[in-house]
Structure 1
Amino acid sequence: MAEVTLLLELGLALLLAKLFGEVFERMGQPAVIGEILAGVILGGEVLGGYLGIDLLSEPFKAFADVGVMILLFLSGTEVEFAELKKSGKLSSAVAFGGITIPFIGGYAVMILFGYGYMEALLVGATLTATSVGVTARILMDVGGLNTRAGTSILGAAVIDDVLGIIILAIISGIAVVGAVELNSLLVLAVKIIIFFIITLYLGLKVIGKVAEIENRMISAKAFLALSLSLGFIFGVLAEEMQIAAITGAFVAGLIVGETPYKKLISEDVKVLGYGFFIPLFFVFTGAWIDFSSFTSAGGVIIAALIVAIVGKLIGCGIPALLMKSSKLESTIIAIGMIPRMEMGLIIAAIGVNLGMAGDPAGIVAKETLSLAVVVSIVTGLIPLFFLKGLIERYVQDV
């Protein structure tokens, strides 16, 4: 009976995720919003109880966990070390400012509203990483992708992702240790450094030989399986070092991204991920949301949303001005860096799973995820209203 229930949960989750995802794609919005909405509808607050399904059950959560591992693996494959080196001072300054100000602001908001330091760290982290899918689409439509503003936004977003993973590794370690004393933080920092050095060094050394072995294997998609196994094994190693498992998946993606098979593996993993596992993660995230949290935490959600928007405008716009960008160019960069999406939701969901916002009734957990979802949706809409006209003027001036 349990197996039948799980099959029903998977079938309904995928069906609604893709239907709603298609609707939002046609509206010019990321499909992930529709996938989260599917989770809200199938969750216990709406249809879940009537259908006799539980999307927060351990079996369904296991599929969601695989989904987020694959998503971070894909994120890693899209980061190129050569591109990071070429990102330039402008992208680096924009990324650093765009992470620092929202993080501090998000932390301060949570503390002012009476939440604990772990919840404050978690929300601060959710406000850091930019998702420029909408921005990139607008840039491409009006021919601004290869301008200085366009390349600066894309470069800063890549740096954002890497720094976001590092922040998550630090916060997950703090959650496991359960303290922020200087000695604990120093030990945690050393562990994180050791993890990145070992996995990157060994991975980059071994992956070439693995690729050579794959050339002699006749099994279909052998290197795909080996690449994913690397992500899962690195995830276990990360957990053993008290770091979030998705950090290991991200590093594995970085390593595979340096091989000649990058494009082929990435396409194969996208089929597996976006066709099945990744939507289940966002449906699972949506199932956490409780409508009552929008009223009980309405004030903190609005405050965090303001910080999310203003933090990027100041954190990205001022560094751009200081790097001698024009006011128009700085404005475009700042607005283009406002959207949050996947990384913020991942940080929030992983944080809840780690117990950072853990409480017996799950109230704080639901408030935290609700906040992340609202920030993702609203900030994703902002470029649609403000960016196109600015970029058209900018392209003409250039």
Structure 2
Amino acid sequence: MKTPRRPDRYMECFPSSPKRRKAFAPRTTISPLMDPIVAIIVILVVAKVFGEGLERLGYPPMIGEIGAGVLLGPAVLGLVTLDETLEVFATIGVIALLFISGVEMNPKAFAAAKSAAAFTAGTGVAVPFALGFLGGALLGLSFAEQFFLAVILSITSIGVSVRALIDLRRLDSLVGNTVIGAAVVDDIIGIVLLGVLSPVALSGRLDLLPLAGALLLAVLFIGFAFTIGRRLSVWLFRISRSMLTHEMPYVAAIAIALATAAAAHALGLHYAIGAFVAGIILGRQVRNDRSVFDGIIDFGFGFFVTFFFASIGLLFSPDPAVFVGLLVPALIVLAIAGKTLGGYLGSRYFLASPAAALTVGFGISARGEIALVVAQVSLAAGIIGAGLYSAVTVMVIATIFAAPLLMKWGFALQERGARGGRPSAETQ
């Protein structure tokens, strides 16, 4: 394992500002064999063709989009690698994805699932966190690596969960609302854990001050967004509808989504949290303007969201040495089993069938962009070595592929149970 740096230099590696985050981002560029515009066209066309093929086979198209990134990226053909331009496209993609999911969310259904989501988030973090420590100890990892593994296994990818639910047409269901609510809370917890990862990994003890500070910022942001932020956003959107320029409401909605995402990021949260909050705040206004609603969905899913999922595949560059031994399969099993068990235990009391609770567990089992950020930061800081970093990257990709397929199977179980004479509210 790489020798850790001194504690006072350690926090410089954490993404507390865009400049620091950029300093430790992977130094990748678009292949010199391909013009940047051509690379964008190739990614878009191949991703959509793969997505269409997977959807015709009955699988979520996001899997095809990720597969296109793997094919075009360093893992297979090496035609395209992730550069700053594509990273910006991918970031806007996850913002668009979460904003759209917030707009489409039924506030009453979401409120009805808040208790289930809160309990699911708690157990969905606690169980994999404990398994991370236990699994790390059994694999012979150091305390710092065990704590890193516990944090990584605790994080859910809200972007993957939302896209899978949209593809499966289950976003506005009790299971869907429980998954999204739990994923939002999990992402906030993941950011808080990221803030304490460095001092805990170095000193071997938990310092409550950074933990409390990060949690307080998250609470203040959400509280401000749903009070003053809501009134300001709704007022701005209404003003835009009175403008003579036809596309002004469309521009206002996008600007509010980006601004809220940027505000969340400035406070140390993920862009996705701010975008989701903005979508909930503007949900009724955007849904009432069908032209704006359809335009955002078409352009979001037709362009930017595609780059988000393709970028995940572009990051996949496996080291053959990583696949020797039990590390990679052990991480994949721990990742899926921990979240599935945690989601099942947290939601079972609130849902009508075991199949529904199992589907919730599947829904929060994917890791994604935040897990990769934590891994990159930990590698740069010396908490983990290159081998564990590569293994975690493979685990993230594996869970992203597995989660939609497991969710599809879980919903099929629910439907079979309903046809067998045991109807449940979450299958409606």
With the length of structure 1 as denominator, give the TM-score of the two structures. 0.80
- From the superposition, tell whether residues 15 and 298 of structure 1 become closer, same or farther in structure 2 (CA, over 3 Å): farther
The letter of the residue matching 1:56 is: L
Are residue 377 (structure 1) and residue 401 (structure 2) matched?
yes
Which string of whole-angstrom CA distances, capped at 9 and with x for unpartnered residues, describes residues 314-335 of structure 1?
434445665695xxx22x1233
Task: State the shift of 1:242 in Å.
Answer: 2.4
Task: State the shift of 1:193 in Å.
Answer: 1.4
Task: State the shift of 1:84 in Å.
Answer: 2.7
Quote the residue 1:388 is aligned against.
412
The aligned length equals 381
Contact 1:106 1:127 (8 Å CA) reproduced: no
Contact 1:102 1:311 (8 Å CA) reproduced: yes
Quote the residue 1:8 is aligned against.
38
- From the superposition, tell whether residues 60 and 298 of structure 1 become closer, same or farther in structure 2 (CA, over 3 Å): farther
**Secondary structure, aligned partner of 2:362:** coil
Q: Distance in 2 between matches of 1:235 and 1:29?
A: 30
Are residue 157 (structure 1) and residue 179 (structure 2) matched?
yes
**Secondary structure, aligned partner of 2:209:** helix
Gaps of 5+ in 2: 1-29, 423-428
The letter of the residue matching 2:332 is: L
RMSD: 3.7
- From the superposition, tell whether residues 247 and 365 of structure 1 become closer, same or farther in structure 2 (CA, over 3 Å): farther
Contact 2:90 2:305 (8 Å CA) reproduced: yes
Q: Between the two proteins, what is the percent identity of the paired residues?
A: 22
**Secondary structure, aligned partner of 2:337:** helix
Contact 1:90 1:152 (8 Å CA) reproduced: no
Task: State the shift of 1:210 in Å.
Answer: 1.5
- From the superposition, tell whether residues 202 and 163 of structure 1 become closer, same or farther in structure 2 (CA, over 3 Å): same
Out of 340, 363, 370, the position equivalent to 1:347 is: 370
Which string of whole-angstrom CA distances, capped at 9 and with x for unpartnered residues, describes residues 319-353 of structure 1?
5665695xxx22x1233224348963233344356
With the length of structure 2 as denominator, give the TM-score of the two structures. 0.75
Q: Distance in 2 between matches of 1:134 and 1:233?
A: 26
Out of 33, 44, 66, the position equivalent to 2:63 is: 33
Are residue 282 (structure 1) and residue 286 (structure 2) matched?
no
- From the superposition, tell whether residues 231 and 300 of structure 1 become closer, same or farther in structure 2 (CA, over 3 Å): farther
- From the superposition, tell whether residues 324 and 262 of structure 1 become closer, same or farther in structure 2 (CA, over 3 Å): closer
Q: Distance in 2 between matches of 1:71 and 1:26?
A: 22
Contact 2:97 2:163 (8 Å CA) reproduced: no
The letter of the residue matching 1:19 is: V
Out of 235, 257, 274, the position equivalent to 1:231 is: 257
**Secondary structure, aligned partner of 1:259:** helix
Quote the residue 2:76 is aligned against.
46
- From the superposition, tell whether residues 275 and 41 of structure 1 become closer, same or farther in structure 2 (CA, over 3 Å): same
Higher mean displacement: 297-306 or 159-168? 297-306
**Secondary structure, aligned partner of 2:67:** helix
Higher mean displacement: 305-314 or 175-184? 175-184
The letter of the residue matching 1:157 is: V
Q: Distance in 1 between matches of 2:132 and 2:40?
A: 35
Q: Distance in 2 between matches of 1:98 and 1:8?
A: 42
Quote the residue 1:207 is aligned against.
233
Out of 345, 352, 358, the position equivalent to 1:335 is: 358
Matches within 5 A, 1:82-231: 82-87=108-113, 93-94=119-120, 96-106=122-132, 108-110=134-136, 112-113=138-139, 114=141, 115=145, 117-126=147-156, 131=161, 151-174=173-196, 181-231=207-257
Q: Distance in 2 between matches of 1:272 and 1:298?
A: 44
Task: State the shift of 1:17 in Å.
Answer: 0.5
Q: Distance in 1 between matches of 2:90 and 2:64?
A: 16
Quote the residue 1:249 is aligned against.
275
Task: State the shift of 1:371 in Å.
Answer: 0.7
The letter of the residue matching 1:213 is: I
Task: State the shift of 1:204 in Å.
Answer: 1.0
- From the superposition, tell whether residues 213 and 110 of structure 1 become closer, same or farther in structure 2 (CA, over 3 Å): farther
